[in-house]
A and B are shown apart, each in its own frame.
Chain A
């Protein structure tokens, strides 16, 4: 496996996501298995990036276990979160829409 930024952790060998162990800023470049990816937005620790291309409908694997499915195609290095993943059990509730309505910073 080629170089991955040490600020990203792979929790299980089968996973198709990496977890941020530090806060990353928009415009920063991070290496994911040798590939350079430039972040489009600030991301807090605990968030996930795609380790490789993930097709629409494909399972998202973290800890070696499925944690939902992609609702759209996800490019390598892309933020993997509620905008492109859905639960196989119950929908996820966020305050993102409320924040956008009231002009609050979504980070």
Chain B
């Protein structure tokens, strides 16, 4: 196959390629967060990103998320920052990273002698690896090697008319070019389960999708709130079903090839739904306490970049993978253009078609693999959050074409 290579990627030992070469500084309990932040502080204009897990007690989901993020194709080296007494299994995480050939080191604050000594040790590691990562050779990378996620946040009544369907058109095009695209938040797809099931590659996958949304509806009903914020109502959205229909438009028109859970990687190109709602009884609170939790989960599934559609005007980015901000509302664009990458609100004003904006989004994603930075990257946004959850592994019906 002589596919043109429009991007440059950093090759990884598992065959994937990254569009960034980030040093991940990962705290393993909240008590080590400040030290991790201090280690990264002098490098705020370079790709040194802080991620971490705040909990002191073990959680399989969090361990899996951290391993997926520390071995993400956009990550080139990892520094683990441990207080020393937390339960997180830093030995297995360091081993998993080392196995991939990436430089990895663990700073244990209690052993190093406290804050200053740990910060110095951590910065010594970053000073050693960062110039190597910045000078690392790249190889050609095809669109078919991309994994792209999509999320919406700060939604309003324009999101489902402009930004979300435009992101869906971009997905359709990327999927035709062989990329894997992931949409998510089953709690914001309540009411769309039967339409989605009809798009599934197999009837068995369709039943899995319906079950995942039924689980989300029951989970949120127990908590007493839908995945719906007060600002959604200010922006004209009335119910979770209405928000869902708008959010669903992000999925485009491709057949649904699989159902993933956080940390599962799409086995090939195509459209995937990410189930973010925990399995079993309601235990650890809201499935996603804010948009950044979902962004981290998409990235843990291997997303090189995340499309973020907003109507009200979110400003967030993320550690590890660039976030492309698509502004659905023309008034918000005029107020917050400095934070936005794509003006989808002009569709509402009759100044562009959904297809034109979809093409613009696709081209922008590809340009990220040629060194372009998103607005949230330029502004230094590297939000990250990871909380407790519990998942059962996906069943055999979830990836029929694997």
A-to-B contact residues, CB < 8 Å: 9, 11, 19-21, 23, 43-48, 60, 62-63, 65-68, 80-82, 85-96
Contact = CB atoms under 8 A, between A and B. Distances in A.
Given A45-B329, A89-B191, A92-B226, A9 B241 contact: no
27 contacts: A9-B161, A19-B161, A43-B236, A45-B157, A45-B158, A45-B331, A46-B158, A46-B159, A46-B311, A60-B238, A63-B160, A65-B245, A67-B191, A67-B239, A82-B238, A87-B240, A88-B191, A89-B191, A89-B240, A91-B224, A91-B225, A93-B225, A93-B229, A93-B233, A94-B234, A95-B230, A95-B234
Given A45-B158, A47-B236, A66 B241 contact: yes
B156 interface: yes
A89 B161 contact: no
B241 A65 contact: yes
B348 A45 contact: yes
Contacts of B235: 44, 46
Interface of B: 156-161, 190-192, 195, 217, 220-221, 224-226, 228-230, 233-242, 245-246, 311, 329-331, 348-349
User: In terms of DSSP, what is the predominant structure of the interface of chain B?
Assistant: loop
B391 to A, nearest CB: 22
Contacts of B156: 44, 46
B217 A89 contact: yes
A92 B240 CA distance: 7
B332 to A, nearest CB: 10
Nearest to B345: A45
Contact of A92 (B160, B195, B221, B228): B228
A46 B157 contact: yes
B176 to A, nearest CB: 24
A65 to B, nearest CB: 5
Contacts of B236: 19-20, 43-48, 81
Contacts of A96: 233
A63 B228 CA distance: 19
Contacts of A11: 161
Nearest to A106: B234
Given A46-B236, A92-B240, 7 more contacts: A19-B157, A46-B157, A47-B236, A63-B245, A66-B191, A85-B239, A93-B225
Given A19-B157, A67-B191, A90 B329 contact: no
Contacts of B192: 65
Contacts of B221: 89-90
Contacts of A47: 157, 236
Nearest to B332: A45
